[in-house]
Amino acid sequence: MAVRKKDGGPNVKYYEAADTVTQFDNVRLWLGKNYKKYIQAEPPTNKSLSSLVVQLLQFQEEVFGKHVSNAPLTKLPIKCFLDFKAGGSLCHILAAAYKFKSDQGWRRYDFQNPSRMDRNVEMFMTIEKSLVQNNCLSRPNIFLCPEIEPKLLGKLKDIIKRHQGTVTEDRNSASHVVYPVPGNLEEEEWVRPVMKRDKQVLLHWGYYPDSYDTWIPASEIEASVEDAPTPEKPRKVHAKWILDTDTFNEWMNEEDYEVNDDKNPVSRRKKISAKTLTDEVNSPDSDRRDKKGGNYKKRKRSPSPSPTPEAKKKNAKKGPSTPYTKSKRGHREEEQEDLTKDMDEPSPVPNVEEVTLPKTGMGWA
């Protein structure tokens, strides 16, 4: 069974699964009780709420994801979209979204229209504010150990500020204590099973955000799912936790970066080498190499024989493959020059070389 290509977007199959849709009962009833005036014109169903969550997650990946330069907002944690409790974070996310839609006088949400980009970003800022106000989202208060190199120390402070964390000089009041990056970090790619549901297991990839977690068939992995350890207070992590947060524009999972008092990496749950998984389970890194600029649909192709004139006509009519457009960052050209038109017919000898096509424009290529 193939695994979907990895990025930080939504796992659509998870949200469309019957068990997940049923969990929206609590959310729908809570919205009807507490935000009736904002939803009574068109009362949501479990399926419509599930669909809205998928759209929100896809929008934040496309507009705030790793591939976006100077993103206007740090991505909201994926765990907030998995909290189905009445009055939990998902309730407040959807409540803020419905209230914003009502205040704007919108008849429907539109995450594909470039003219709505700024308003949709503003809606996410409103959602984030609501999560903080309702104690569903807390921003880290970080103590940076003085033995961190001064140049790196300055960089870490800038990153923390940019992602709305705070730096404290009081170690006892800190939520996180950050140590220098250990010199003995493992280089081998690893995964950790974090949840099991029916015949599926959710894998967390080491040093990737939780939004990159992947559902795979349970038959692809032999390890059992261990309970999450009780977090220590403050959390002791090394500086890569902050550096990777800036790389992905998403606060990383502290468990991947934990160290002990001797500043050595610690692992409180079993890690599994990614090499032991079947070839069909693709790592986020290998999948991202198949993309250009974050297009989550495009696949890498080997050179093909020169197309027929009829095929060229069909290709010329094709527009962008992804629905989101960054109006302020330029548009993708709809046509791309056929770089193979002057090539000879391919030899029957299987000697294939990869050709990297140049990027066109600065849109969602």
Q: Are 169 and 146 in contact (CB under 8 A)?
A: no
What is the rounded CA–CA span in Å between residue 68 and residue 142?
26
Percent of the chain with pLDDT over 90: 60
Q: Are residues 126 and 200 in the same domain?
A: no
Residue 324 pLDDT greater than 90, yes or no:
no
In a domain, 7, yes or no: no
| Least confident span in 90-94, 216-220, 335-339, 354-358 | 354-358
Residue where a domain terminates, one of 261, 278, 295: 278
Residue 80 pLDDT greater than 70, yes or no:
yes
Residue where a domain terminates, one of 78, 101, 134: 134
Give the pTM.
0.76
Residue 296 pLDDT greater than 50, yes or no:
no
| Least confident span in 93-102, 273-282, 336-345 | 336-345
Cis preceding-peptide flag for 234 (omega within 30 of 0): yes
Residue where a domain terminates, one of 107, 134, 161: 134
Q: Are residues 155 and 266 in the same domain?
A: yes
Residue 242 pLDDT greater than 80, yes or no:
yes
Please provide the DSSP assignment of 150-163 as one string.
HHHHHHHHHHHHHT
Q: Are 149 and 155 in contact (CB under 8 A)?
A: no
Helix (H, G, I), strand (E, B) or coil at 54: helix
Q: Express each pLDDT in 328-356 by its tens digit.
A: 444 434 444 444 445 554 444 444 444 34
Residue 92 falls in which region: left (phi positive, over 0), alpha (psi -120 to 50) or beta: alpha
Domain assignment of residue 97, given as a range: 12-134
Q: Are residues 184 and 270 in the same domain?
A: yes
Q: How many domains does the chain have?
A: 2
Residue 301 pLDDT greater than 60, yes or no:
no
What residue has token string 């009519």?
317
Residue 70 pLDDT greater than 60, yes or no:
yes
What is the rounded CA–CA span in Å between residue 93 and residue 52?
11
Q: Are residues 149 and 273 in the same domain?
A: yes
The edge-to-edge listing of strands for the beta sheet with 214-217 is 214-217, 200-205, 190-197, 272-273
Q: Express each pLDDT in 98-134 by its tens digit.
A: 999 999 999 999 999 999 999 999 999 999 999 999 9
Taking the CA of residue 227 as centre, how many other CA atoms within 13 Å lie in the half-sphere pointing to its CB? 3
Q: Among 71, 77, 70, 129, which residue's Cα sits nearest to residue 99?
A: 129
Q: Are residues 98 and 158 in the same domain?
A: no
Q: Where are the alpha helices (DSSP H) in 17-134?
A: 18-34, 36-39, 46-64, 89-104, 117-133
Contacts of residue 238, Cβ cutoff 8 Å, sequence gap at least 6: 178, 179, 180, 181, 182, 257, 259, 263, 265
Q: Express each pLDDT in 247-263 by its tens digit.
A: 999 999 999 999 998 88
Q: Are residues 160 and 53 in the same domain?
A: no
Q: Are residues 177 and 49 in the same domain?
A: no
Work out the pLDDT band at 273, boundaries 50, 70, 90: confident
| Least confident span in 56-60, 178-182, 203-207, 285-289 | 285-289
What is the rounded CA–CA span in Å between residue 171 and residue 35?
41
